[in-house]
Structure 1
């Protein structure tokens, strides 16, 4: 069993390659076409209409005695969240690169992530039959732009023609053998010694070393071919079977799996796509969902296991397999099934890619559809958690977070076609963050004005490095009050930091609880609990936002906007006119380099201006400019910081906040 991901920059031919692999394995009789909308994995109507992959899809086929679950993923960067979820279940990957366009922006993002997660990866250079195909140039780009640890397993005859043919290297090629030995010797002391002494290793030794290092993600074999003509496909399937690792895990071990996709069935029920890492799940078993956080578990009412193309009903699913599971009512993407300690460590690195940096307000065209819109968006957020719904009860508005304009168009079309809700989307805006710049402390004492709650809370806020996340610490004794009260403070801190003083999330800081105090449970003579004289978790939950916001104001926060790195390739004669346009977009270019009749310039540009750059580029470059962009970092906003409308009870305004959370008009009355 092997769970294999197919990844690529858009239009590299990844879905066509999936079709060819299924055809080669005998699963389908005819190769489907992306243009005709007849491919097996692009099953959504929108995918067929637009000719792009939007949702990941699983198909299965056999290579000799190895069953391969192949997961086709989106190539467009707007749907990178789908790719992120798939990475958590892979045993290996095939990274597809076009022999014409070569290494592109998304190619680099994907390869960096695959290498960081240690996922064994083959590179398939596709479209060798297309005009302009240059396999040798692309091989050099792979080594220069991705990693020097790439090694070709063959070459191409007549590239750029319909008769292009992949030719594997033979055993008796001395140049090839020497290069491969040199590469593998970097991680193999025995090979290194033999290489230094001039002893040529045997072919079977080299092949075994290549397989071992590929499975450890130390080297990346490169194959060439064409999904359209089928050349090179036999070599690719052979490499998948020989060089990538089979799924590990014991069917007799404790149940452990990961949910990477959730859909709704015909009756509206949740259907979970899960990769099993250990154990066996049977129909009618109860499975604990979400680690230890949510109860004893739900009863599995149905199982589908992928075999020869599609999922077939089965009574059980075991370690190494991917299955559809029915009956897990509260399941969410990213949930662990069973025992979390039996899930590989890298599955917990939830965010492999940058979060969305754009958002927009969605409004129903008919006011009567407001409830239906909320229900539809909630279902879409189940399938894609990074959609990130934000509701503003005051303005009766719903905002969704986005990776780009194409994703917005797809959401709009999905709402209309699948849910029957017509919508209008406002102009896309940028999602900023707030970073703590100093240290600030605040405290509110129980039974002391202006504190209206039966709780004492003191908090200190300090900055943390970018990417560190929010850490909550106790600076008081854990036994000084009930644990539930500490938990209420911690949860309220996490919730409050979603909207800092300017309304943006505060992603990286250290919050320490410095003071605590409470009134023990009080009862009257007949043991009737008196809430007005006893502290509850609610008191701590309601007081914490006031204290934390005071501490944040004293520490100070600064708004940071997302910045994208860009690479522009433009004709040399238009480069001079391009620079003023980059300046107007607040882009900061670095020193350009000449490549023949073109200039290549790297730099950074605010995420808010990327769409404008994409629109302006064709006119500035006669349609010959090429642009690659990807999120890079957050940078401080200069001038007046942008604000974001609040959707909470506004702890920045004490009177308004207390009135809302206590539902009383007089400040100071206990809730």
Structure 2
């Protein structure tokens, strides 16, 4: 049997989960279709998903198509849960992008398709809901070609679109119009085929065109489009045949070294972690000892349980090989994004997120909002911290932030829906009631120029047995944080060097204005330490010998001094927006956009409608969404998505610090070294 790991992606409410149910039903895995509205679908298993009728967590089910086992991963469609989609992308062999035949291409559809094409994931497009009133097959196809990619080809036609009895008829080799369009599309990417097409298009065998269609689809050069209805089943058989014929099965050597990646983590009833792992190479067996994680040295654990997916269920097994997805138990402390076995350089490279922090591959923008979480009595702060830490295991981008000074806990968010889901999850799963303070925007800081600082052992009131010199230089936008050495690697023990590097990354989490500092190069320009020593005939004396703690305590002072000399500018997140509204209301809307600090482009008339595109600060998007119905008689349609960060105009916003505040030397030393003031002498 071959294996195909298939993702189902879409804008919210396009019918993604309903299509998953239909595919399982078509394959004979389930006897009765579940309903999103009734909360009875196979993949929306969380109580909260059933209540709200939306997918919150990715879910894996499987079915067989001829000699291929399809592991189907249903992903959330709401943009507040894009992090779930991001984690799934790293494990896919192919994808089906679902588009509504009524609403057409929507904001999230564009975001998803851009990412799928950038990652070169083979993708079929399924236009769903052709049986709904207002369905337009040809108009949607034009929208797909114009807004997503021109390299698309309809694989069939719709009879009676918009009617409950709408049917989908696949094209065949006897349809000359279809074969001509197919040959023309494929010839754009194949010179040999182009030459044959120019010489005599009619002489190209249909079998050859189908083989080339599979090859080019597998290389993500073209994207076949299928029409149908997940509710009635129309067109689904053709889609299943397309999945089997056109999407490539998993590859990997089951006899090779073990290599995989974790894309989801769950907790069992006893609190034990279960890791969802995509295997790229090798075979994992029960009781195998596996290395995992990104830390040095890497963690290791014994596999105590393996479950593989078969006919819609997770079934206990003795082993899992390359290309498969499995649930592994026994790997204590395993996290989302961890490589398992030998790290795969193609799938597990640290590319860094939008803010420049290291981590698993990031394809979407990081969260741009945050809010303080306030526990309701009788729950305490300790209980809340433990519960949110558990949530962060399943969604690392929640980014728990603890302020010990103000005794506050804050989390990063994508939007208001995610906030409500966090609130409900804390109540349902942990019995903790919470409220949220006002949502604020997460900014970042970038250096304005270069700055350097130096602290030397036993000089200038340095109480630490460490010499550290650092220089901060600006780097291109999006490059993240780099740490470099201008001292010899062997000039002091590696553990001390590592302490400086780790502390640099941690300290840059809060810059001059309290925001994450990114897009910079930090260079260590000088180092020095006192070797391990002791008094005569005595044991090791810490007061005479440098330790990693000395370097961890001194580095924030040096780094922030250098950063102050370089200066930083606070940048705020900005969204692209597309606003469609009645043309006669453009005049009243433009001043509102100006008050929200939006920068609109030239309005484009479309009959009685008008389209305005431009940029707007992320902090103002929610306000625009709330005001839009009253501004546009309920006819306005707003699409928005993260674009970039831009410098804040006027007084930069300040974020309260949660550390010992190395910007103020005296207070920092008082908090760091008991009994040491800013003027104290070195030890």
- The TM-score, its normalising length taken from structure 1, stands at 0.98
Kindly indicate whether residue 282 of structure 2 is the aligned counterpart of residue 271 of structure 1: no
Whether contact under 8 Å (2:307, 2:327) holds in the other structure is yes
Q: Deviations over 1:506-545 (max 9, x none)?
A: 0210111111111122212225111111111111111111
Q: Deviations over 1:169-204 (max 9, x none)?
A: 121222221111111112212211101212431010
Q: Deviations over 1:280-317 (max 9, x none)?
A: 11111111111573446100111110000010111111
Query: Closer, same or farther in 2 for the Cα pair 1:414/1:74, shift >3 Å?
Result: same
Quote the residue 1:129 is aligned against.
Answer: 131
Quote the residue 1:39 is aligned against.
Answer: 41
In 2, Cα distance between equivalents of 1:47 and 1:638: 41
Query: Closer, same or farther in 2 for the Cα pair 1:640/1:554, shift >3 Å?
Result: same
Q: Secondary structure at the match of 2:132?
A: coil
Query: How big is the shift at 1:663?
Result: 2.5
After superposition, residues 552-567 of structure 1 pair within 5 angstroms as: 552-567=563-578
After superposition, residues 209-220 of structure 1 pair within 5 angstroms as: 209-220=212-223
1:81 to 68, 83, 106: 83
In 2, Cα distance between equivalents of 1:141 and 1:526: 83
Quote the residue 2:661 is aligned against.
Answer: 650
Q: Deviations over 1:307-349 (max 9, x none)?
A: 0001011111111111111111110000000001376467966
Kindly indicate whether residue 680 of structure 2 is the aligned counterpart of residue 666 of structure 1: no
Quote the residue 1:225 is aligned against.
Answer: 228
In 2, Cα distance between equivalents of 1:122 and 1:182: 19
Whether contact under 8 Å (2:452, 2:565) holds in the other structure is yes
Structure 1 outlier segments of 4+, above 4 Å: 345-349
Quote the residue 1:242 is aligned against.
Answer: 245
Kindly indicate whether residue 668 of structure 2 is the aligned counterpart of residue 626 of structure 1: no
After superposition, residues 199-214 of structure 1 pair within 5 angstroms as: 199-200=201-202, 201-214=204-217
Quote the residue 1:166 is aligned against.
Answer: 168
Whether contact under 8 Å (1:256, 1:342) holds in the other structure is no
Q: Which runs of 5+ in 1 are unaligned?
A: none
Query: Closer, same or farther in 2 for the Cα pair 1:342/1:303, shift >3 Å?
Result: farther
Q: Deviations over 1:33-62 (max 9, x none)?
A: 101111000011111111100000000101
2:371 to 352, 360, 364: 360
Kindly indicate whether residue 352 of structure 2 is the aligned counterpart of residue 341 of structure 1: no
Kindly indicate whether residue 108 of structure 2 is the aligned counterpart of residue 112 of structure 1: no
Q: Secondary structure at the match of 2:516?
A: coil
Q: Secondary structure at the match of 2:587?
A: helix
Kindly indicate whether residue 387 of structure 2 is the aligned counterpart of residue 385 of structure 1: no
Whether contact under 8 Å (1:89, 1:347) holds in the other structure is no
Quote the residue 1:609 is aligned against.
Answer: 620
| RMSD of aligned alpha carbons | 1.3
Whether contact under 8 Å (1:93, 1:120) holds in the other structure is yes
1:324 to 323, 327, 330: 327
- The TM-score, its normalising length taken from structure 2, stands at 0.97
Q: Deviations over 1:369-407 (max 9, x none)?
A: 222111110000000000000000011100000000000
Whether contact under 8 Å (1:475, 1:513) holds in the other structure is yes
After superposition, residues 478-557 of structure 1 pair within 5 angstroms as: 478-557=489-568
Quote the residue 1:101 is aligned against.
Answer: 103
Quote the residue 2:446 is aligned against.
Answer: 435
Query: How big is the shift at 1:367?
Result: 5.4
Query: How big is the shift at 1:250?
Result: 1.3
In 2, Cα distance between equivalents of 1:208 and 1:586: 52
Query: How big is the shift at 1:669?
Result: 5.4
Query: Closer, same or farther in 2 for the Cα pair 1:458/1:560, shift >3 Å?
Result: same
Query: How big is the shift at 1:251?
Result: 1.2
Whether contact under 8 Å (1:291, 1:339) holds in the other structure is no
Quote the residue 1:48 is aligned against.
Answer: 50
In 1, Cα distance between equivalents of 2:217 and 2:118: 14
Quote the residue 1:583 is aligned against.
Answer: 594
Aligned residues: 671
Q: Secondary structure at the match of 2:423?
A: helix
Quote the residue 1:259 is aligned against.
Answer: 262
In 1, Cα distance between equivalents of 2:297 and 2:670: 33
1:420 to 421, 428, 431: 431
After superposition, residues 297-316 of structure 1 pair within 5 angstroms as: 297-316=300-319
Whether contact under 8 Å (1:117, 1:346) holds in the other structure is no
In 1, Cα distance between equivalents of 2:676 and 2:456: 22
1:398 to 399, 409, 420: 409
Whether contact under 8 Å (2:306, 2:328) holds in the other structure is yes
Quote the residue 2:355 is aligned against.
Answer: none
Whether contact under 8 Å (1:32, 1:40) holds in the other structure is yes
